[in-house]
Structure formats: C-alpha cells, structure tokens
Amino acid sequence: MSETGSNGADRARRIAERLRAGGVELAASLPDSWLSPLIDRVAADEHIRHVRVSREDDAVAIAGGAALMGKRSVVLCQNAGVLLATNVLAAFSYHHQLPLLIVAAARGGAEDGFYYQMYKGQVSAGVAAAAGLSVHQVTGPQDDWLFERGSEQAWLQRRPVVLMCSRGALLGAAA
C-alpha cells in the first residue's frame, strides 16, 4: 500500500485548493509520510510561498511573522510538532494573538499501526487545547471545508487553529 498513490495526490490537490480559497499565501512544513503529497503539492503551488524548516516551532514562528504582516499562512506537520511547538503556540494564542492554521497529521489514532506513534494520539489534541487553540478533527473529504474555514476562524479568534487530520483525510481511502 503506497502512502503517496493517486488517492493521496487527489486529496492533496483538493486540500491545497481549499487552503488557497481560505487565503493562505505561505506554508511552512516538516515532513510526515501522511503529509507527503500535500507538501509536494504546496511546494509546487505558485500561489503559496513554501518554506522548509528543521523544527516545527520555527514553522509556527514563520507563520506568525506572516500574520504579523497581514498574510494568512499554514503549518504542515505531524501532531508531534504541536507538542514541540507548544511554547510558541501558547504565546501566539495568549500573548501576541497571532492567527495561523496548522494542518497536522494525527498520528497515533486507532488507524495508525506504529507503536511509537501512539503517545502522540493520546496527548496532542489535549495539549493543543490546553495551549488555548481551537482543535478540529478532520476525518475525511466531508470535512474539507475546514481547510478553507480554519484560516478564517484563526483570523477571527486571533490565535492558531489546529486541524488534526486522519490518514484518510490526507491520503484518501487505502488502495
């Protein structure tokens, strides 16, 4: 079973369209296999400035800098990135009130077959909520509207919003 088959490419195209429709002009990313098609799609998108980082808190800071200048942005990362970046996320939520969208691969759920991912599924949504962020579960194409509206909600709330995305939401149905 490929993580990056045609289903994944189609999902990536649809998600990227929604992100653009939500006003996203900048994306900062750190890879996860579930996010690979979307990162490739965004990197090739002439309407979205893509930035590669080596830590997720850098991605959040970069997205916050774009927000400071009035631009909407998205962070693409694994949910472990939410854990690593909690300090800057809490600061942007409570201290600076800088809006951004996080599209996170929600590793560690019941669909995930790797023991080392489990802890992320157990704690990341709770940590994000404790940091003051709105958290939405994205489980499939029926939730695609959130990729567009998430940016708007972040802007209205003046704080980051997290979309915890299942494997199916990011890669489509397994081939």
Partner 1 sequence: MKRAELAAAIAAAAPDHVIITSLGSAGRAWRDHGGPNPTFFGSDPMGAAPGLALGAALARPDLRFLLLEGDGDLVMNLGVLLAIADAGAGNLRVVVFHNGRYETGGGQPLAAAGRADLGAVALGAGWPWVRTLERGASGDTLRAGVEALLAAPVAPALLVAEVDAEASPYGGPGELSGVEARVRFQEQLRNWESRREDAG
The site for partner 1 (CB under 8 A) is made up of 25-26, 28, 49, 51-55, 57-71, 73, 87-88, 91, 95-98, 158
Nearer to partner 1, 17 or 25 (CB): 25
- Separation of alpha carbons 64 and 99, rounded Å: 7
Query: Shortest approach of partner 1 to residue 138 CB, angstroms?
Result: 24
- How many of the other CB atoms lie within 10 Å of CB of 141? 15
Nearer to partner 1, 15 or 28 (CB): 28
Nearer to partner 1, 98 or 169 (CB): 98
Displacement of CA 154 from its chain's centroid (Å):
13
Amino acid at site 173: A
Helix (H, G, I), strand (E, B) or coil at 109: coil
Query: Shortest approach of partner 1 to residue 7 CB, angstroms?
Result: 30
Query: Shortest approach of partner 1 to residue 171 CB, angstroms?
Result: 26
> Cβ distance 105 to 77 under 8 Å?
yes
Tokens matching residue 123 = 């704690």
Query: Shortest approach of partner 1 to residue 28 CB, angstroms?
Result: 8
Nearer to partner 1, 161 or 170 (CB): 161
Residues 6+ apart with CB under 8 A from 69: none
